[in-house]
Structure 1
Amino acid sequence: MFTGIVEELGEVVGVTPTAQDSVLVAVRGPLVTSDARHGDSIAVNGVCLTVVDVDGGVFTADVMGETLRRSALGTLRAGDPVNLERAAALGSRLGGHLVQGHVDGVGEVLAREPAPRWETVRFRLPVALSRYVVEKGSITIDGVSLTVAEVGDDWFSVGLIPTTLALTTLGTRAVGDPVNLEMDVLAKYVERLLGARPADAPVPGPVAS
């Protein structure tokens, strides 16, 4: 589990094919590797990956075909910057929102509108995911926890403050670039629970004491 608060802007060192539909990715991140061990979880652009090895500030992780197909990690090349976050520790502050590191789909940067102190960025998203996005709700973009400003049928926008622009990949994403999207897990659970309830079933009320 993660919080969507990026700890470090890392760099892809290499991407090595290991099978027909999988790769071994090597990422430089001195901060996130300072206490990383084999088997630990690190989010790379919002995708939860399992550490295989750590060597001199660089960690490696296997990325299977399913992850490559459902996220934008398949476009990574050596030299690319990536957002990094270690798994949250129990008892730590939750600065963003609950993020699983399980990408729901790939979006696309549609437009950027700079302002003196912040920037509004609009993203396209798969129509099937739009039902999980609400104004002032939470969404994770490339591993960054953000608040939705506006919502359309197949798009949404967010406001990026100077810190986010400077310390994450979202500051340099160009129009047309793909981004990883993770919807708020609470919305997905609510949908599942309501969908499983018969249409004529009463809505549970408070329990009398």
Structure 2
Amino acid sequence: MFTGIVEELGTVVALDRGADSARLTVRGPLVTEDATHGASIAVNGVCLTVVEHVDGEFTVDVMAETLHRSSLGALAPGDRVNLERAMAASSRFGGHVVQGHVDGTTTITAREPGERWEVVRFGLPAALAPYLVEKGSITVDGVSLTVVDVTDGSFSVSLIPTTLDLTTLGHKGVGDPVNLEVDVLAKYVERLLATRFAPTEVAP
């Protein structure tokens, strides 16, 4: 489990593609300080398992499902990525419940600079639209954010200076892809209601 509070901007060292998977190596001195084999690190919001780590770099395997669901397959050496270690049970809960299970991707459609902040608008895939509400939570590239508004086919968030400076969202432009993870609580509520109010078959 993660909280969507990015700890470090890492740098992609290598992405070696296979037939149906990839091996990704990222430089992240902070998140590898206490890394162990099998540890979980979120890369742009995708929960991945450390298989190797040395000298401030870690390597993870990325399976076909993850490549299909996320934007990780488009990464290249030198790209910056948001990194967060799995939450410790004794830590403060700074963001919201983030699983690191990406629900889909979208792109930035507009950026509106303010005095010290910026409003960023994203496309909203139709399949994810029911899970977003005004002032609700959304994870964008691993960053826990509050939804400002939701319209047909898009939503917006406001980025404070810290988010602009310390995450990839401050450096991406219109048309750039991002990973989305909706609030898991909304998905549980949907499942519960669908089960509770499902039509009951009447025996003949």
- Common fold: TM-score over 0.5: yes
CA distance in 1, matches of 2:180, 2:94: 19
Partner Cα distance (2:129, 2:43) in 1: 24
Aligned counterpart, 1:175: 174
Question: Percent sequence identity over matched residues?
Answer: 69
What is the total number of aligned residue pairs between the two structures? 200
Question: Which amino acid letter does the alignment assign opposite residue 6 of structure 1?
Answer: V
1:103 paired to 2:102:
yes
State the shift of 1:91 in Å. 2.0
CA RMSD, Structure 1 to Structure 2 (Å): 1.1
2: CA distance between counterparts of 1:105 and 1:198?
27
- Structure 2 counterpart of 1:32, which letter? V
| Structure 1: gaps spanning 5 or more residues | 202-209
Mapped to 2, the partners of 1:71 and 1:16 lie a distance apart of 16
Correspondence for 2:93:
94
Task: Provide, for residues 89-114 of structure 1, a one-character-per-residue CA deviation record: whole Å limited to 9, x for no partner.
Answer: 00210000000000000011000000
For 1:160 and 1:16, how far apart are their aligned partners in 2?
A: 33
Residue 147 of structure 1 aligns to which amino acid in structure 2? Answer: T
Equivalence map 1:33-72=2 (5 Å): 33-72=32-71
Instruction: List per-residue Cα deviations over 1:58-88 (Å, max 9, x = no partner).
Output: 0000001110010000100000000000000
Q: Secondary structure at the match of 1:93?
A: coil
**CA deviation digits over 1:17-54, x for unaligned, max 9?**
2x301110000000000000110000000000000000
One-letter amino acid matched to 1:198: F
Q: Are 1:196 and 2:195 matched, yes or no?
A: yes
| Structure 2 counterpart SS, 1:128 | coil
Q: Give, in angstroms, the shift of residue 170 of structure 1.
A: 0.1
1:159 aligns with 2:158: yes
- 2 CA distance for matches of 1:181 and 1:102? 9
Residue 6 (structure 1) aligned with residue 3 (structure 2)? no
Secondary structure of the residue aligned to 1:11 is: strand
Partner of 1:2, secondary structure, is coil
Q: Which secondary structure state, in structure 2, belongs to the residue aligned with residue 131 of structure 1?
A: helix
> Gaps spanning 5+ residues in structure 2: where?
none
CA distance in structure 2 between the aligned counterparts of 1:198 and 1:68, rounded to whole angstroms: 35
Partner of 1:206: none
